[in-house]
Amino acid sequence: MIAVLLALTFVFALAACAGSSKPAETTAAAETTTTAAASETTAGTDTTAAASSDTTSAAAAGGTLTMATSADFPPYEFYDGDKIVGIDAEIAAAIAQKLGMELKIEDMDFDSVIPAIQSGKADIAMSGLTVTDERKLTVDFSDSYATGVQAIVVPEKSPITSADDLAKNVGKYKIGVQLATTGDIYASDTPEKGGFGSDNVEEYSKGADAILALTSGKIDAVIIDKEPAKAFVAANSGLKVLDSAYVSEDYAIAVQKGNTELLGKVNDALKGLIADGTVKSIVDKYITAK
């Protein structure tokens, strides 16, 4: 009984970390301050310009870079208190700094991240976001800055030992995924195409919710990216990540389709940060190499 309570406490703590009740946005750099507009107009000068209020501060000289993310995905993006931290948050901050811009992070459900780029609500998306041909039709991607692998999480005593066990027993197991992720897309596909059929897939708006359903026995497995899988397993007792890797992927930054100017700037900044070792040191800080 105590063990069960403890396990539940961990799950809830993790769900809280995933930020379901956290404020929707956080500013990573200094707040933009309003510089007082020139208070007097001199005869003979352009009064319109002199009177217009100037809302630019030194910190935001290059403007604001708004990043869309779903901060429920450790170690890429998650809450530390009320601050969004992680590999993506730190790489984004380094890019913004290189571009002389102020980074603003907008947290949202994962299925809203790409729409936020399409609508222009955000400039860049960094969300452990996998490059896929389908997504390339809706957004443009930067060079890749990391790789990911889809992993399978099961209870420690599960009879499921590999992706094959799932593939050979379609209909027998319920599989949980985070809505609109590549894990969801693969799993929901038809068995002929390597999936398990959407009837056998439960979609959750947060990965942590899928993990919670797994701990309580509502589903039999969760398919999610490997590093978050490891983080969730570490935070919840009684679960394990299967060794057999499922699908390998590239993570990249998305920008609005056709915004070649921003894409060029992001890629240049990223190249510099990869070349000087910044990206590697950020990744190493969050993922302990084995």
Residues forming contacts to ligand ARG in the complex (CB under 6 A) are 70, 72-73, 77, 110, 127-130, 148, 178, 181-182, 207, 225, 249
Residue 198, SS3? helix
CB of 127 to ligand ARG, least distance (A): 4
Non-local (6+) Cβ contacts of 141 within 8 A are 131, 135, 252, 253, 254, 255
Measured from the CB atom, is 60 or 95 closer to ligand ARG?
Answer: 95
The C-alpha torsion from 261 through 267 and 272 to 273, rounded to 10°, is 120
Nearer to ligand ARG, 104 or 135 (CB): 135
Minimum CB distance to ligand ARG, residue 221 (Å): 16
Q: CB of residue 69 vs ligand ARG: minimum separation in angstroms?
A: 6
156 contacts 239 by C-beta, under 8 angstroms: yes
Comparing CB distances to ligand ARG, the nearer of 182 and 278 is 182
**Helix, strand, or coil here: 156?**
coil
Three-state SS across 204-259?
ECCHHHHHHHHHCCCCCEEEEEHHHHHHHHHHCCCEEECCCCCCEEEEEEEEECCC
Closest to ligand ARG by CB, 78 vs 154, is: 78
Q: Which is nearer to ligand ARG, 60 or 196 (CB)?
A: 196
Residue that has been written with the tokens 């991607």 in this structure: 141
**Angle (deg, nearest 10), helices 87-98 and 278-286:** 160
Nearest approach, Cβ of 22 to ligand ARG (angstroms)?
14
